[in-house]
Structure 1
Amino acid sequence: MANIKFTREQTAILVGEIQKYFDKELGQEIGDFDAEFLLDFFSEKIGGYYYNQGLNDARALLDAKLDTITESFYELEKITEFD
């Protein structure tokens, strides 16, 4: 898995969300540097779990779609004396 990297704009949005969370849920203010440091920590240490779950979800969706396509092929088959 490649390292998770966000653009500066995305990082600013995520840092803002972390700051809001700390303020609302914990009653603490957290600065930009600390929030970005926390974001980097979670991206490095926990991001892989979310990434893998996303892959598993995508794989399950693709499997379901492929099953539907395979069924559609069987529906198109003409009855013949061949098996």
Structure 2
Amino acid sequence: MTDITLSDEQKSRLVARLKTYFNDELDQDIGAFEAEFLIDFIAAEVGPAIYNQGLADAQQLFREKTEELGYQIHELEKPLP
């Protein structure tokens, strides 16, 4: 897996949301630098677990759809005389 990279716009939005969260929920003010540093840390430390779960979810969905497709193909079979 490559490192998680966010566009400047994405990072700016996340910084704003994180600052709001800290202010509203934790009653603490953090600066943009601190918020950006925290986002980078979370992306590096937590991001891989979330990414891997996304892949596992995609694999499960793929297995389910493949099985469903197998049943649909079986229904198309013509009976032998």
TM-score tier after normalising by the smaller chain length: over 0.9
Structure 1 segments (4+ residues) deviating >3 Å: none
Indicate whether 1:34 and 2:34 are aligned.
yes
SS at 2:39's partner residue?
helix
Aligned to 1:39, what secondary structure does the other structure show?
helix
Q: Which runs of 5+ in 1 are unaligned?
A: none
1:1-80 alignment, distance < 5 Å: 1-80=1-80
Q: List alignment gaps of at least 5 residues for structure 2.
A: none
Give, in angstroms, the shift of residue 60 of structure 1: 1.0
Identity %: 42
Root-mean-square deviation over aligned CA pairs: 1.0
Q: Secondary structure at the match of 1:78?
A: coil
Q: Deviations over 1:25-72 (max 9, x none)?
A: 100011000000000000001100000011111111111111111111
